Amino acid sequence: MIETHSIEIVKSTAPVLQKNSEAIGKRFYQLLFESHPELYNIFNQTNQKRGVQQRALAHSVYICGEHMDHLDAIKPIILRICHKHRAIGIVPEHYPIVGKHLIQAVKDVLGNQVTEEIIQAWEKAYQYIADIFIEIEQELYDQARAQEGGWEGFREFVVVKKVKESDVINSFYLKPADGKAIAQFQPGQYLTLKAKIPGEKYTHIRHYSLSDAPGKDYYRISVKREDARNGNPAGIVSNYLHRNIQEGGILEFSSPAGDFILNTKSMNPVVLISGGVGLTPMISMLNTIIEKQPGRKVTYIHAAINGRHHAMKEHVARLASQNSNIRSYVCYESPTEEDRRTESFDKEGFIDQAWLESILDNTQGEFYLCGPIPFMQVIYRALRQMDIPKERIHYEAFGPMSTLGE
């Protein structure tokens, strides 16, 4: 632990860092990539361009600083980041590089607002936090290595099957190119892809939730094609997967990671709520319950633009019709004529608290959310209004953020 005086300095100056977090984050990545361009291979370059990575980093620094003397309170946030670090291949050697440029970025942005004493306190704090991250990540690396079928770094997989699930989502079934066993995973976890795209200078790393139950001799991921929109370019990796990767193609993944997981030791009721491609971890959870926990009550609520965007709808409808413990509800933002004709949805528009209250017969059990951030924020607030405690609401964001800002 660092001494009390430094902790006090860090805690009292954390808000100043928070206020200037965007500028600090921007300057940090500029310094980092100038001196270590090879790190472009690891960090998501689109997230840099969109500014979301900078905000996420600055927020992490701020909350660590603010919780310096009781880091236990933010353990779930730290663990989530450590899982991502392990998945993308962050190693202890990266920490001094990041620390050096982060401190320099603080000096550059805050100039004479910060004294040498403040800088020293933050250097100590960074070292202290970095050591915690390194230790947790080491454990995660050890676990990934030790597990049967586990592996280190990135391993080649063959796409053995590619399936169109909706107008915008394709599933990829993956078997290891070496023909050996694959590691088990927990429903809700993700694989991390290192895409080597012809013509791209650096590799692109992206996470994809596993979309089937564990226990198979393959993994399945389901990827939404991110089209060009509002003047922003089309998504690099999702379009590469949709257009260029066919059956027989080879892709490299690191082993399963993530702490957004279904507790399969409990038989408590489960409410799964997803929006768009956020259905992937939910389908893994749902399939797991069907296979491993017969009778466990599941309410699955899914929101999509319309039936053409709604992946795996027949699969979920079939499970609900064949299993009395599974109830499924569908909300379409703008249903098509076909959706209306087939009465394939339960609500038009958006999910709101009144509708949730009308379909949830009780609010017991665990709630799992996955979808766009604004979608999750609305649902999260509604669930909290319904007196569901935070501890029973679990969520996964498909981007670099760690809390819904509650």
Instruction: Give the nearest distance from C-beta 265 to ligand FAD in angstroms.
Output: 23
Decide: is 82 part of the binding site for ligand FAD (CB under 6 A).
Answer: no
- Judge residue 385's burial from the number of C-beta atoms within 10 Å of its C-beta, 0-12 exposed, 13-18 middle, 19 or more buried: exposed
Instruction: Give the nearest distance from C-beta 400 to ligand FAD in angstroms.
Output: 7
Q: Count residues near ligand FAD (CB under 6 A).
A: 27
Q: Is 137 a catalytic residue?
A: yes
- Angle formed at CA 268 by CA 267 and CA 270, multiple of 5 degrees: 110
Judged by CB under 6 A, the residue of 20, 46, 203, 293 near ligand FAD is 46
Tokens 């600090």 locate to: 24
Decide: is 226 part of the binding site for ligand FAD (CB under 6 A).
Answer: yes
Decide: is 326 part of the binding site for ligand FAD (CB under 6 A).
Answer: no
* Positions in 278-317 near ligand FAD (CB under 6 A): 280
Report strand pairing: 190-195 vs 204-209.
antiparallel
Decide: is 331 part of the binding site for ligand FAD (CB under 6 A).
Answer: no
Nearest to 333 by CA among 309, 313, 359: 309
Amino acid at 143: Q
State the binding string over 178-217 for ligand FAD (x if CB under 6 A, else -): ------------x---------------xxxx--------
Which listed residue (29, 62, 66, 95) is catalytic? 95
Q: Which two structure tokens, joined as six digits, stand for 279? A: 């259905």
Nearest to 154 by CA among 280, 33, 256: 256
Amino acid at 276: G
d(CA 392, CA 4): 35
Instruction: Give the nearest distance from C-beta 141 to ligand FAD in angstroms.
Output: 18
Q: Which two structure tokens, joined as six digits, stand for 134? A: 């390194």
Q: Segment contacting ligand FAD (CB under 6 A): 100-108, 218-226, 262-270, 315-323?
A: 218-226
Which listed residue (29, 126, 137, 300) is catalytic? 137
Report the half-sphere exposure of 286 (CA within 13 A, side-chain side). Answer: 28
Judged by CB under 6 A, the residue of 14, 61, 102, 277 near ligand FAD is 277
Tokens 């949805």 locate to: 345
Applying CB under 6 A, which residues contact ligand FAD? 46, 49-50, 190, 206-209, 221-224, 226, 229, 232-233, 235-239, 258, 277, 280, 396, 398-399
Which are the catalytic amino acids? Answer: 95, 137
